[in-house]
Amino acid sequence: MAEVALLEVSKSYGTVEAVRDLSLSIAHGEFVVLLGPTGAGKTTTLRLIAGLERPDRGNVLIQGRVVTDEVPAERDVAFVFQQYSLYPHLTVYDNLAFPLRSPARRMNENVVRRRVQQVAELLHIEHKLGNRATALSGGEMQRVAIGRALVREPAVYLMDEPLSSLDAKLRAELRLELKRIQRELGTTILYVTHDQIEAMTMADRIGVMSEGVLIQLGTPREIYERPNSAYVASRLGTPAINLIPAELLGADAVPPQVRTVGLRTEHIRISSVDRPGPLARVHWVEHLGDQNHVHLKLDTHSLVTLADPVQPLKAGDQVSLEFTEPLYFDQAGNRVAADAFRGHA
């Protein structure tokens, strides 16, 4: 049984369709990440599950129960927002204990203490329990905010970019920690972000959204290696996939319906001009520390690929290109399977 299921859910604000016919089911213990730019409908989806918004059409199920008409408190969910909101006058301990002391729960104080202690250890903030919430660093505050959700044991945790207000450094650390905690506790998480690295490293499955529609749902590897559209292909990968018009490769190099060819950096081989293949010119080499990006000009089109450190390239060099695993897309941007057409590229 799925922990959470959305069945053809739609939600509009005025004339804007924020979420359109969205169906999604999240298994118990699964970490699902919704990835998309601002305005894709990710946050609205979370709010629909939490009960902060009511769908215009469709149903929301939590543990098999239709909750569409229930208020947030009746649904068994915990929400972590982007901006942590802690009670500044309370200690870390009391902030963590707060959700357990709600009159609706009437939890024994010993049980509360045990639970708070457990979560604090998990988040490595047990030594800060006596501190005022305001006497913490940003990373610690966000940990307390996540902890406040974790002390409860809801069916699902809904997280809306919980790491995006943190330093890049801290974000990378908490990313790993959150994944570890989720694995240890076997919790179910629906997590929203526009950061592809967060999605790739934490998700069991990624749902790529655009303009209110769930475009593709799959494991990080599926989404990266077998994107169903040019849009999905361009959401993942650094540097981003190169999308070039098919005619640049020659009419018989690709299946007839193909309009765009997607080339990831690892599928572009650069060799000297005496080798067969399309010719390109090195435009410039960009040093980014761990990666050196080569900007190539293929006819008038720009390609970006990773530089091989043992292959010294400089601006102005002529090179020959070989494309090992191109992805094909049709006029509408949908993927065209390469299986029907092998051996040409």
Binding site for other proteins (CB under 8 A): 37-38, 137-138, 167-170, 172, 194-197, 200-201, 220-221, 224, 235-238, 264-266, 286-290, 306, 312
The residues near 238 (Cβ < 8 Å, ≥ 6 apart) are: 196, 291
Shortest distance, CB of residue 289 to other proteins, whole angstroms? 4
Identity of the residue, 77 or 166, whose beta carbon is nearer to other proteins in the bound complex? 166
Shortest distance, CB of residue 167 to other proteins, whole angstroms? 5
Nearest to 246 by CA among 278, 218, 270: 278
Identity of the residue, 70 or 225, whose beta carbon is nearer to other proteins in the bound complex? 225
Shortest distance, CB of residue 49 to other proteins, whole angstroms? 23
Shortest distance, CB of residue 145 to other proteins, whole angstroms? 17
Nearest to 150 by CA among 109, 180, 173: 180
State how far the Cα of 159 lies from the Cα of 163, in Å rounded to an integer.
9
The total of other beta-carbon atoms located within 10 Å of residue 79's CB is 19
Identity of the residue, 21 or 195, whose beta carbon is nearer to other proteins in the bound complex? 195
Identity of the residue, 38 or 108, whose beta carbon is nearer to other proteins in the bound complex? 38
Shortest distance, CB of residue 298 to other proteins, whole angstroms? 20
Identity of the residue, 39 or 333, whose beta carbon is nearer to other proteins in the bound complex? 39
State how far the Cα of 115 lies from the Cα of 97, in Å rounded to an integer.
8
* Contact (CB, 8 A) for 86 and 142: no
Q: What is the DSSP string of 138-173?
A: HHHHHHHHHHHHHTS--SEEEEESTTTTS-HHHHHH
Cis ω for the linkage preceding 255 (within 30 of 0): no
